[in-house]
């Protein structure tokens, strides 16, 4: 698949959110480093992960729903010297929350790299060894990573101050859904529950709601209450698009370019992640292929065995079926978008984001 440049509507928001993230992190580092240089180390480690990459998609969906629903014209926005301040703060909050989730996810998956750099738990385990400190490196690294992730969560909550009561409710729902979705993902992998229903349930919690639906809905009601019908329409737009996002993520996790992804390709197979891609393969496999697919979830899968499993994903038609489903879901979402009462500018932006979700290579 050729590289797909992010749309200008995403880059526009990403630049503003990155600037806000850097401002917050710089302020926090200076404050805590002055209190005790050892405390500044923790902020520096969080900064390393926040600034190492990320698409800023959640922030973009939130931003364009805000603009499309008339957010810039709301009295609360007009009363502020910078009418975008709150929505950019919330966009930055989504990124802090995402880093929190990724740092913890890397511990659960025992991942060595993320966004092309060492994961927090690995980096700090190696530091313990290098410094000659006491303790067990793995335990220390994971303990530090949990704390660094939690620090990101706190900053995320701070940045959502000032949102409307309804937006706060959505933020709380999103965080609960994120945690339960991760629990379901881990439980399903451990139980070897690779059926299609489970994969779709995980995709709903971990991608559809967290990545697209809740950011859209929060953006629409950031400054105050909105019509429930609009929130429902954004849900109908975001759910299929969120599933498409997860299907693309699943495909990249086993078929993508490791140098672009910044993390090992094939680890999802070793971890036994419940994905629709694998569910399609299992549904279409013959007896011999089914026996081979039973190896999914083995942590000791060799590169050769991973390659053999990828070949089965192709031969069973699972890859083709996955791509067709992505196309169908994006078309479904696009059809809903046309009927949502947002500004034309916002619809164009959200349409561009929807297309990017379907064809992205990272």
Residue 237: predicted pLDDT = 98
> pTM of the prediction?
0.93
How confident is the model at residue 226, as a pLDDT?
84
Tens digit of each residue's pLDDT (9 = 90 or more) over 122-131: 999 999 999 9
**Cβ burial, residue 275 (10 Å; 0-12/13-18/19+):** buried
pLDDT on residue 320: 95
* DSSP string computed for 152-188: HHHHHHHHTTT--HHHHHHHHHHHHHHHHHHHHHHHH
Per-residue tokens: 26: 């710089």
Which two three-digit tokens encode residue 1?
């698949």
Say whether pLDDT at 77 is over 90: no
User: Could you report the per-residue pLDDT of 290-318, keeping only the tens digit for each?
Assistant: 999 999 999 899 989 999 999 999 999 99
pLDDT at 337 over 90: yes
Task: Determine the pLDDT at residue 260.
Answer: 66
Q: What pLDDT was estimated at residue 4?
A: 76
| Predicted confidence (pLDDT) at residue 73 exceeds the cutoff of 70 | yes
Q: Cα separations (Å) of 265 from 168, 235, 249?
A: 37, 31, 11
Could you give the 3-state DSSP secondary structure of residue 232? helix
Say whether pLDDT at 229 is over 70: yes
pLDDT band at 5 (very low <50, low <70, confident <90, very high): confident
Average pLDDT over residues 91-119: 94
Give the pLDDT confidence score for residue 74 in this predicted structure.
Answer: 81
Mean pLDDT calculated for residue range 134-138: 97
Q: Identify the pLDDT of residue 76.
A: 79
Whole-angstrom distance, CA of residue 195 vs CA of residue 282: 8
pLDDT at residue 261, as a whole number: 64
Q: pLDDT band for 275, please (50, 70, 90 cuts).
A: very high
Do the Cβ atoms of 152 and 105 come closer than 8 Å? Answer: no
pLDDT for 120: 97
* Residues β-bridged to residue 113: 118
- State the chain's mean pLDDT as an integer: 93
pLDDT-derived band at 207 (thresholds 50, 70, 90) equals confident
Q: Tell whether the model's pLDDT for residue 93 goes beyond 90.
A: yes
DSSP assignment of 53-90, as one string? ----HHHHHHHHHHHHTTGGGSHHHHTSSSTTHHHHHH
Of 231 and 260, the structure prediction assigns the larger pLDDT to 231
The full set of domains in the chain, from first to last, is 8-359 (1.10.600.10)
Higher pLDDT, 207 or 30: 30
pLDDT at 3 (0 to 100): 56
Whether 156 shows a pLDDT value over 70: the answer reads yes
Question: What share of the chain has pLDDT > 90, as a percent?
Answer: 81
Contacts of 306 (CB under 8 A, 6+ apart): 254, 266, 269, 270
pLDDT for the residue numbered 198 = 93
Give the rounded percent of residues in the chain with a pLDDT score beyond 70. Answer: 98
């Amino acid at each position: 698949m050729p590289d797909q440049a992010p749309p200008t509507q995403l880059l526009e928001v990403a630049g503003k959110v990155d600037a806000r993230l850097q401002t917050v992190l710089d302020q926090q580092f200076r404050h805590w480093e002055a209190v005790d240089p050892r405390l500044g180390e923790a902020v520096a480690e969080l900064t390393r992960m926040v600034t190492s990459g990320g698409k800023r998609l959640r922030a973009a969906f939130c931003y364009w729903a805000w603009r499309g629903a008339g957010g810039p014209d709301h009295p609360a926005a007009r009363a502020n010297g910078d009418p975008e301040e709150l929505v950019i703060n919330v966009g930055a909050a989504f990124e802090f929350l995402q880093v929190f989730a990724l740092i913890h996810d890397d511990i659960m998956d025992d991942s060595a790299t993320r966004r092309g750099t060492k994961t927090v738990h690995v980096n700090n385990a190696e530091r313990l060894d290098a410094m000659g400190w006491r303790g067990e490196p793995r335990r220390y690294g994971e303990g530090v990573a949990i704390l660094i992730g939690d620090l990101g969560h706190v900053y995320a909550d701070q940045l959502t101050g000032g949102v409307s009561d309804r937006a706060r409710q959505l933020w709380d729902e999103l965080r609960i859904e994120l945690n339960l979705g991760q629990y379901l993902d881990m439980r399903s992998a451990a139980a070897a529950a690779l059926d299609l229903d489970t994969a779709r349930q995980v995709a709903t919690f971990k991608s559809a709601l967290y990545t697209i639906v809740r950011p859209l809905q929060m953006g629409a009601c950031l400054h105050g209450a909105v019509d429930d019908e609009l929130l429902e329409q954004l849900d109908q737009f975001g759910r299929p698009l969120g599933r498409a996002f997860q299907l693309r993520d699943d495909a990249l996790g086993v078929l993508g370019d490791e140098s672009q992804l910044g993390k090992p390709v094939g680890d999802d197979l070793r971890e036994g992640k419940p994905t629709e891609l694998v569910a399609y393969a299992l549904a279409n496999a013959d007896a011999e292929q089914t026996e081979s697919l039973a190896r999914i979830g083995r942590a000791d899968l060799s590169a050769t065995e991973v390659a053999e499993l990828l070949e089965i994903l192709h031969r069973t038609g699972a890859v083709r079926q996955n791509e067709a489903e992505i196309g169908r879901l994006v078309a479904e979402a696009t059809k809903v978008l046309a009927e949502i009462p947002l500004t034309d500018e916002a619809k164009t932006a959200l349409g561009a984001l929807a297309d990017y979700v379907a064809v992205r290579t990272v």
